Structure 1
Amino acid sequence: MSDNQNLLAEQRRALILDEVRRRGGVRVNELTRRLGVSDMTIRRDLDALARQGVVAKVHGGAVPVAEASTHEPGFEAKSVLEPSAKDEIARAAAALVLPGSAIALSGGTTTYALARRLLDVPDLTVVTNSVRVADVFHEARPAVGEGARAATVVLTGGVRTPSDALVGPVADRAVRSLHFDLLFLGVHGLSVEAGLSTPNLAEAETNGCLIRSARRVVVVADHTKWGTVGLSSFGVLGEVDTWVTDRGMAPEVRAEVAEHVPGLLVAGEAAG
């Protein structure tokens, strides 16, 4: 794959992680031939992926780390994973938002990236159960006289999760009483069998409420979320109108997703 010789380190590591997860393990010498880089470069990449906790190094290569379905990483831990992909996804998702819309953003690091891209969209009403998302809009409050552009933010109450989402009965009641044009939903994982899932039982219930209150559901998630299954499912793929993802998604995965999700928007690629 000579086209990969000049890949940025982050892109190369995303490819390596895909291989590890798809095949259940990789060898260093295989990766050097496929990616056209040195053994030392591949070993540094594996070291970086091991520090992120997504692979385990073994003699001559690496294997995936099997996480428990109840494992829920904190916001800071998730924010260092796939940062460029999340930014591309956020840019593409922001283009779907019209001025004056009522939208909802769930908790998550990708929805956080999206919130920062929405600050210049005028007259939004934003419903969120994410403390981090609400802070983005709060800290960017316009100066006096520019209020017509400011977003109206509705932050649900609830119990705070490790990923800084507010969940539970208080959040659920707030969401059920509202209706919004677009929901941008971050997920722990997606699969054909489990649909949309999360490790947190209370978050699953709140996310389900968000889906039922939205006219359109847009999942914002990088390609590594495909095939990941959390403890609790809260929706099926057929409830997703659009999945905005990144270019790391393999062609065969795209074909599989297209069978279940009406719209697949790959950030950074031309429409159509």
Structure 2
Amino acid sequence: MSDNQNLLAEQRRALILDEVRRRGGARVNELTRKLNVSDMTVRRDLDALARQGVIEKVHGGAVPVSDARTHEPGFEAKSALEPGAKEEIARAAAAMVAPGSAIALSGGTTTYAVAQRLLDVPDLTVVTNSVRVADVFHTAQGAGPGGAPQPGSATVVLTGGVRTPSDALVGPVADQAIGSLHFDVLFLGVHGVSVEAGLSTPNLAEAETNRRLIRSARRVVVVADHTKWGKVALSSFARLEEVDTLVTDAGVSEDVRAEMAEYVPGLVVAGGDEGGA
């Protein structure tokens, strides 16, 4: 991850904390390679995180002291994770969208990548609870001469709500807005995917908002890179059987592909072999 050498200290520490919690611990030499920073920088970051009480330093590295199921990284920290996989997934997901469709995009960095790939699809109506996703379309609409909206630009419906660390709007206001709408397809980002827990998120309010999105969609497409498989966050909001298509990347193992295929009718492996969509 050579781009991480320019990250702000706060962003870098968020990435370190996510790595420690996701893997149950991390060694200093692993973190220096992953972040492309010096041994001394990593040790200073670990000292800072230890003072915050979120990790415990051990010989050669660190282990978590809090429950990873409740940890929700910020948008910038998540953006730096698996960027190549997210781009492959976004291309495959965007290819599913027909001109003139009514679609929904949940919060998340993978759905943000999908939004960037949808700018050339004409006459879309986009419902989203993601501030970042709405900004993608808003910026593109003013990209013409004199800042005029482009022909065929999307109509964007941004729900209200309370903002999460990942820049999603959740809570009763968002839920009420979504509940009155209907869309052809939902592109849904997740924190974790597993057979036992289904789809899950560390944010309780976001779990309920995601349930509303699913209920309003004719077709549910989950976009999740290979690192999400087997992760379980605090709150489950859907069973795998409620998903119509799962778009992942070629980093997912053959065993996991076979397991997914038992529960999800359509499995698309972006950048690799594709199942039925």
TM class, shorter-length: 0.7 to 0.9
Q: Any conservation in 1 of the 2:267–2:274 contact (CA below 8 Å)?
A: no
Matches within 5 A, 1:1-272: 44-45=32-33, 67-141=67-141, 143=144, 147-272=150-275
Runs of 4+ residues over 6 Å off in structure 1: 24-27, 49-53, 55-66
Q: TM-score of the superposition, structure 1-length normalised?
A: 0.78
Q: Any conservation in 1 of the 2:203–2:235 contact (CA below 8 Å)?
A: yes
Q: For structure 2, which runs of at least 5 residues remain unmatched after alignment?
A: 4-18, 50-54
CA distance in 1: counterparts of 2:2 and 2:65, whole angstroms: 21
Q: TM-score of the superposition, structure 2-length normalised?
A: 0.77
Residue aligned with 1:69, SS:
helix
Task: Compute the displacement of 1:68 (Å).
Answer: 2.4
Residue aligned with 1:149, SS:
coil
Q: Any conservation in 1 of the 2:106–2:130 contact (CA below 8 Å)?
A: yes
User: Which amino acid is the alignment partner of residue 144 of structure 2?
Assistant: A
Give the share of equivalent positions with the same residue, in percent: 73
CA distance in 2: counterparts of 1:74 and 1:95, whole angstroms: 28
CA distance in 2: counterparts of 1:46 and 1:132, whole angstroms: 26
Task: Compute the displacement of 1:264 (Å).
Answer: 1.1
1:169-194 deviation line (CA, Å, top 9, x unaligned): 11001001000000000001011111
Q: For structure 1, which runs of at least 5 residues remain unmatched after alignment?
A: 1-7, 11-16, 28-39
CA distance in 1: counterparts of 2:95 and 2:217, whole angstroms: 18
CA distance in 2: counterparts of 1:95 and 1:168, whole angstroms: 31
Task: Compute the displacement of 1:71 (Å).
Answer: 1.1
Q: State how many pairs are aligned.
A: 242
Task: Compute the displacement of 1:143 (Å).
Answer: 3.1
CA distance 1:134–1:261, change in 2 (3 Å): same
1:77-121 deviation line (CA, Å, top 9, x unaligned): 111111111111111111011110000000000001111110000
CA distance in 2: counterparts of 1:64 and 1:90, whole angstroms: 32
Q: Any conservation in 1 of the 2:200–2:232 contact (CA below 8 Å)?
A: yes
Q: Any conservation in 1 of the 2:2–2:36 contact (CA below 8 Å)?
A: no
CA distance 1:174–1:85, change in 2 (3 Å): same
CA distance in 1: counterparts of 2:109 and 2:252, whole angstroms: 19
CA distance in 2: counterparts of 1:45 and 1:184, whole angstroms: 33
CA distance in 1: counterparts of 2:139 and 2:35, whole angstroms: 36
CA distance 1:184–1:135, change in 2 (3 Å): same
Report the aligned-residue RMSD: 3.1
